[in-house]
Structure 1
Amino acid sequence: MLRFGVHSGQQYSTFEECLGLWQRAEELGFDWVSLFDHYRPPLGGPDGPCFDGPALLAALAARTSRVRCALLVSAVTWRHPAVAAAAAATIDHISSGRLEFGVGAGGPDLGYEQFGLPFPDSGTRLTMLEEYCGILRRLWDGERVTFHGEHYRLTDAYLRPRPLQRRLPLVIGGGGERRTLRVVARHADVWNTLAGDLDGYRRKVGLLAGYCAEEGRRPAEIRQSITFRAVLAPTPEEAGRRRAERLALLPPGSPDLAEYLTFGTPEQCVTDLLAYAEVGVRDFLLGCRPPLDWQTIELFATRVVPELRARAHATRS
């Protein structure tokens, strides 16, 4: 089954603006809405707004009733895995069992310098991620955990109450081909990455299948999830105009530009996404940030989602 969502982030100036997006997404029939877990995202600049991820997620979960509520993703550098496990279990209860919790090795964030937080090298962070995922799963599954690793130490640790879900979905974010995908193969229920170019994504899928074989897992046990951005309009002419307007909002050389998969009509977006469905993607998450592009959000919900569901079903049949 395909799922469609909005990756909203939390770079809003008021709680009401973010809440309005989540509740509207639920009304539009989206399956999923997610935050990230940055403190000072570089794109927002050194003084841009950004709410705390887990705290905001708990509040939004309490004010929605159906959509899956996700953190996509939390960096291993922010908090101890036992603390993260307890926060996740709490939010799962608040949401009545709708949480999907994402973790990753982390990337650039102005908070490291502003707050004086350590930011280890990528190799160290990936070793932390391996230990982190194992600790989360064991605590969520109700084990009494003693673990003395390279980065974390737990002695007779126990989590109560456990998550409401029998198996709280662990999302691992990232596309590193040598180490991240190995961690995904070992621990993930869902693998999320930016869509990127299709050939590159297809190569990663093949690598992940090989790592799954080494771990004794079937690739189908791990849901493939992509995050992307789009600018949609009813006609190609209007799409071109709206593309120019959106690009004018981005600073020169913005890394965000590479996240845009479609500048065009809903039909073009269906074509672009169907290619990813054909290589196994089951979760399609539309990235949004202020100023919100409501036309794209609503066209995606009303014209892309039903058509892509139908075409993907026909392809599988």
Structure 2
Amino acid sequence: MQLGLTCPRFTWPGGDAAVAGRFAQVARGAEQAGVASLWVMDHFWQIPNFGAPGEPMLEAYGALSYAAAHTGRVTLGALVTGVGHRPPGLLVKQLTTLDALSGGRAVLGLGAGWDEEEHRAIGVPFPPAAERFERLEETLQIVRSMWSDDEEPYHGRHFSLDRMSTSPRLTRPRPPVLIGGSGEKRTLRLVARYADACNLFHGADVRHKLAVLREHCERVGRPYGEIEKTLHMRLPEGRSVAESVELCGEFASQGIDHVIVAPPDASDGATLGHLAELAEAIREMTPEGRSPGERTGMLRART
């Protein structure tokens, strides 16, 4: 099992002037702690689960590029990018740039999006759910085409691109794609067809959701074991390392390969120490359905 860290808050002592230094501390600290992946949310303002709308929030891909300059091993991604936030061609260009500048450490996290108020506030359309999922599937098709040798134009119901190539391309055939969400009819179907990894939230019925994913994989002829199963959870203040290890063991027994934690303050020394102990303790846990020592390798930090 692997451990990831997400930094959901940029509210630190010292105010806005402290953000750059503190976030660099998060990135370096995560890598030193042995964390496999580092994530930020792709929101344009703070969301209710983590703070107030007026609190600092960095644009995801600018932040990840900054983190890339302060690290050399940890995998980098947004958990996750709403499909309506950027046109697909621009999104692929941003990921290609991050991948090149990080030495091949980028992951594309995608989802259908949910925050209507945020979309309206920044002038981004927020269509009904059915259309958002259509756009998500078209974006996934565009991603595959742009990160291939196919330069044919793409013309879908919602997106049209005249030129499908992009450069520089460092990771071959492409950076990994992760889809966030646990919807059984649409999200997990798209995971089976297009993604290298899925992301569930703590509180979901993991065994059931993964059983549904397995069924979708069988329908499309996709090996279920190819997909890395990740789970996002809060790391509350005061939880002991032993409690975190026990919880991760439960997730491994349910089939989770990669746990991504969100602490109250990702730059705090005690938090980073907790993560270092946790990463070491869970490294040899074997998720249900995998052989001892088997790794998907998709979102692992580079050695």
Indicate whether the TM-score tops 0.5. Answer: yes
- Offset of 1:268 from its aligned partner? 2.2
Tell me whether 1:76 sits opposite 2:50 in the alignment: no
Tell me the equivalent position of 2:286. 312
In the alignment, the residues of structure 2 paired with residue 74 and residue 105 of structure 1 have an alpha-carbon distance, to the nearest angstrom, of: 8
- SS of structure 2 residue aligned to 1:278: helix
- SS of structure 1 residue aligned to 2:171: coil
In the alignment, the residues of structure 2 paired with residue 147 and residue 118 of structure 1 have an alpha-carbon distance, to the nearest angstrom, of: 21
- Offset of 1:273 from its aligned partner? 1.4
- Offset of 1:137 from its aligned partner? 1.4
Change in 2 beyond 3 A, CA 1:316/1:162: closer
* RMSD between aligned residues: 2.2
Deviations 1:141-165 (A, max 9, x none): 2321322111111124321222434
- Offset of 1:201 from its aligned partner? 1.3
In the alignment, the residues of structure 1 paired with residue 242 and residue 145 of structure 2 have an alpha-carbon distance, to the nearest angstrom, of: 44
Deviations 1:94-114 (A, max 9, x none): 001111111110111643232
In the alignment, the residues of structure 1 paired with residue 287 and residue 211 of structure 2 have an alpha-carbon distance, to the nearest angstrom, of: 23
Letter in 2 for 1:122: A
In the alignment, the residues of structure 1 paired with residue 266 and residue 154 of structure 2 have an alpha-carbon distance, to the nearest angstrom, of: 45
Letter in 1 for 2:279: V
Change in 2 beyond 3 A, CA 1:311/1:66: closer
In the alignment, the residues of structure 1 paired with residue 42 and residue 86 of structure 2 have an alpha-carbon distance, to the nearest angstrom, of: 11
Given that 1:139 and 1:158 are in contact with CA atoms closer than 8 Å, whether structure 2 keeps it comes out as yes
Letter in 1 for 2:275: F
Given that 1:226 and 1:283 are in contact with CA atoms closer than 8 Å, whether structure 2 keeps it comes out as yes
Tell me whether 1:21 sits opposite 2:20 in the alignment: no
Change in 2 beyond 3 A, CA 1:108/1:75: same
Tell me the equivalent position of 1:237. none
Change in 2 beyond 3 A, CA 1:126/1:93: same
Deviations 1:36-88 (A, max 9, x none): 21112322333221111111111111221111111221111111111111110
What is the correspondence of 1:229-308 to structure 2 with a 5 Å cutoff? 229-231=234-236, 242=238, 264-290=239-265, 294-302=269-277, 304-308=278-282
- SS of structure 1 residue aligned to 2:79: strand
Change in 2 beyond 3 A, CA 1:143/1:10: farther
Change in 2 beyond 3 A, CA 1:272/1:10: closer
Given that 2:148 and 2:165 are in contact with CA atoms closer than 8 Å, whether structure 1 keeps it comes out as no
Deviations 1:5-39 (A, max 9, x none): 11113534412111111111111111111112111
Letter in 2 for 1:269: S
More helix by share: 1
Letter in 2 for 1:35: V
In the alignment, the residues of structure 2 paired with residue 183 and residue 120 of structure 1 have an alpha-carbon distance, to the nearest angstrom, of: 19
In the alignment, the residues of structure 2 paired with residue 58 and residue 88 of structure 1 have an alpha-carbon distance, to the nearest angstrom, of: 10
Given that 2:34 and 2:279 are in contact with CA atoms closer than 8 Å, whether structure 1 keeps it comes out as no
- Offset of 1:166 from its aligned partner? 3.2
Tell me whether 1:41 sits opposite 2:40 in the alignment: no
Change in 2 beyond 3 A, CA 1:139/1:29: same
Given that 1:212 and 1:218 are in contact with CA atoms closer than 8 Å, whether structure 2 keeps it comes out as yes
- Offset of 1:116 from its aligned partner? 2.7
Tell me whether 1:162 sits opposite 2:169 in the alignment: yes
Given that 1:41 and 1:110 are in contact with CA atoms closer than 8 Å, whether structure 2 keeps it comes out as no
In the alignment, the residues of structure 2 paired with residue 123 and residue 313 of structure 1 have an alpha-carbon distance, to the nearest angstrom, of: 33
The higher relative CO (CA closer than 8 Å, separation ≥ 6) is in 2
Pick from 137, 142, 146 the counterpart of residue 149 of structure 2: 142
Tell me the equivalent position of 2:138. 131
- Offset of 1:218 from its aligned partner? 0.8
Tell me the equivalent position of 2:37. 32
Tell me the equivalent position of 2:298. none
In the alignment, the residues of structure 2 paired with residue 50 and residue 156 of structure 1 have an alpha-carbon distance, to the nearest angstrom, of: 33
What is the TM-score normalised by the length of structure 2? 0.86
